[in-house]
Structure 1
């Protein structure tokens, strides 16, 4: 087994690919791949082993092997280096590894995770509806609690911005 094959096995195992597919891609037997994985702590089910690959690992390995199927990439002499061997592999990779964004809801201010959408404003449809259609009711409810000196659970962002604008002026 060459050093290149060892590296390819490691990359493919971290992507959650099974022994048989790795064996087909590297040209080794399934048992050789399995024994190598056992010796190096990469054994078990591919789905259980799959980890979120960090950017450093991607930058080191992405230009040598296809991120999706693990085949060796051949680069053109000019142009950008490839990360995938085909468009189908790119689509598979993006489907299985969506970009995740940590955002804060504009209404309830809770932190939530959004897949693939960076400009999302609300964590749920309920928060959107409350912000869009119930502003007057929310303001009456919050000012009622304030005048009765009761605890206010949260103040929507639009109302806080409005109150702070009066303080700044």
Structure 2
């Protein structure tokens, strides 16, 4: 194994990659990667912190045998999702007119929507809005 491969293994391990993914990227044996990581303190027991939060950059502690977390908290996850809604995987956008208020609105991936908001749904179903008026 070359010094370049060793540096790459270390970098990928700190980014949160597992042994098999690193082996696939570098085209080396999984056991070679595993042995190198254990000898150099890069296994999950000694490393402890493998990744950083995508939103705030805070280090994330990984629990053994758990999926790699991308965010340190639900707050960061929601902030990241809300700030990147335009990158949604849902490519289908449907155009509708609200059955209650008549306002035009868009629905991402749901072609059966009838109302533009929860308030309009409640008003149509129960006969009044959130404030108690028709």
| Larger-Rg structure | 1
The TM-score with structure 2 as length reference comes to 0.38
Q: Relative contact order (alpha carbons < 8 A, sep ≥ 6): 1 or 2 greater?
A: 1
- The structure in which a higher percent of residues are strand is 2
The TM-score with structure 1 as length reference comes to 0.31
